[in-house]
């Protein structure tokens, strides 16, 4: 197959795309990452990420990046508290012994998105990432593709990998299968200088995470290494709720008014999340793909991560699945047992779709459980099983 002789374009510079680029470069492949951001400093948003031994951590290990990961992960960020709407404490593992054995079955080390992205970027050869390449369209060119970007630039590739996230612009070139609304919408928020702007809730997280559940609603807080506090509210809404215009997500006051009305049984202590102008809010309706999705494989185009199998975040699998996709696609592409790219891609997609189906099913079950009347009991059972007696 001689994959090393072919030009590979990865569209999207998230953890999945960057991991794949690193692995392919290790195998001597010619690869570029085409990223829409203007530079590496543009976006450092989102909550912390917990990497799992058999997926995210395994990909880093094969890429030779575990020493750097150990330098940059956040010990203690995996500590968890569980409270209810009134902030009554139901579980707290901050007093338990810190697990820092990377081969422990329950150890899921946390790292902020920014440091993980920087780690991966720093591992690539200079010039690998082409910034400010927002994908517009592509067309067949010989046995490969000609890609067009919003800035007027173009690129050619023998093989294109879509790693451009949940709202992928490349997925339509592979399949017409549409996502399914889960019934849950999330408001993602980030509070900068949280020790000053949300002091009580910042202290409550104690550098870790807080899960708050009540009345079919959820609120998850995560402390970040830069001193900010990220959060996700989750509740059942109509599919068009976020786009209906009922809430102006560019207005802190509008989001605050929505929260007070929708989370009206919750303690006013949560209002701290909306007291500062040093914040941002983004609505995210939660979608997933059908459990039985499949498509006819192509010899010059495939996809990984959320582009292939988006799902709600309530099982913590998103980044891990993307990095596992990267590892498994790399293994198939460099496997001498496959005679053609089509054979290698078809093998990868078969493995990926089967794995994604099982994890999507579990994620949907978890999403439903965490937004049910028995959510608190459900989560306490999970944490008791994984951490010992609560």
Give the up-direction half-sphere exposure of residue 387: CA atoms within 13 A in the CB hemisphere. Answer: 23
Is 113 annotated as contributing to ligand binding?
Answer: yes
Please answer whether residues 250 and 231 qualify as being in contact, where contact means their C-beta atoms are separated by less than 8 angstroms.
Answer: no
Q: Is 50 part of any known ligand binding site?
A: yes
Q: Show Cβ contacts of residue 336 under 8 Å, excluding neighbours closer than 6 positions.
A: 1
Cα–Cα distance between 147 and 164 in angstroms, integer?
14
Burial 116-151 (b: 16+ CB within 10 A, else e): bbbbbbebbeeebbeeebbbeebeeeeebbebbbee
Kindly report the backbone phi and psi dihedral angles of residue 55, in degrees, each rounded to the nearest multiple of 5, phi listed first: -135, -85
Residues 6+ apart with CB under 8 A from 18: 33, 117, 120, 121, 124
Q: Is 84 annotated as a binding residue?
A: no
The verdict on whether residue 306 carries a ligand-binding annotation is yes
| Count of Cβ atoms closer than 10 Å to residue 14 Cβ | 26
**Alpha carbon of residue 156 to chain centroid:** 28
Q: Which two tokens stand for residue 99?
A: 């697990």
What are the tokens at 281?
A: 């809010």
Show Cβ contacts of residue 139 under 8 Å, excluding neighbours closer than 6 positions: 145, 146, 148
Binding residues: 43, 50, 113, 306
Binding-site residues for NADPH sit at: 43
Which residue ranges make up the annotated binding site for FAD? 50, 113, 306
């Amino acid at each position: 197959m001689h994959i090393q002789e072919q030009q590979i374009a990865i569209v999207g510079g998230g953890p999945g795309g960057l991991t794949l680029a690193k692995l392919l470069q290790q195998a001597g492949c010619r690869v570029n990452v085409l990223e829409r951001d203007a530079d590496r400093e543009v976006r450092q948003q989102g909550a912390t990420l917990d990497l799992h031994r058999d997926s995210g951590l395994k990909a880093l290990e094969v890429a030779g990046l575990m020493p750097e990961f150990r330098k940059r992960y956040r010990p203690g960020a995996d500590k968890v508290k569980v409270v209810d709407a009134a902030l009554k404490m139901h579980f707290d593992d901050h007093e338990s012994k810190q697990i820092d054995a990377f081969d422990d079955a329950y150890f899921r080390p946390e790292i902020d998105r920014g440091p993980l992205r920087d780690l991966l970027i720093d591992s690539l050869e200079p010039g690998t990432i082409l910034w400010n390449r927002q994908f517009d369209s592509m067309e067949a060119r010989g046995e490969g593709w000609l890609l067009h970007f919003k800035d007027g630039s173009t690129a050619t590739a023998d093989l294109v990998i879509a790693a451009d996230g949940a709202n992928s612009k490349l997925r339509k070139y592979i399949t017409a299968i549409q996502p399914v609304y889960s019934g849950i919408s999330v408001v993602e928020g980030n509070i900068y200088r949280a020790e000053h702007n949300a002091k009580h809730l910042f202290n409550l997280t104690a550098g870790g995470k807080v899960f708050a559940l009540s009345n079919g609603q959820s609120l998850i807080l995560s402390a970040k290494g830069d001193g900010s506090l990220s959060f996700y509210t989750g509740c059942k809404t109509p599919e068009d709720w976020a786009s209906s215009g009922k809430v102006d997500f560019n207005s802190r006051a509008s989001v605050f008014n929505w929260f007070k009305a929708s989370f009206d049984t919750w303690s006013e202590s949560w209002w701290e999340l909306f007291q500062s102008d040093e914040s941002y809010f983004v609505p995210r309706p939660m979608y997933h793909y059908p459990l039985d999705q499949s498509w006819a494989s192509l010899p010059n185009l495939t996809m990984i991560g959320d582009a292939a199998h988006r799902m709600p975040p309530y099982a913590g699998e998103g980044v891990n699945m993307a990095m596992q996709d990267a590892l498994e696609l790399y293994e198939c592409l460099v496997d001498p047992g496959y005679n053609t790219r089509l054979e290698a891609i078809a093998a990868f997609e078969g493995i990926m779709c089967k794995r994604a189906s099982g994890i999507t099913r579990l994620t949907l079950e978890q999403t439903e459980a965490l937004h049910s009347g028995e959510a608190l009991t459900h989560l306490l059972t999970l944490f008791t099983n994984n951490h010992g007696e609560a």
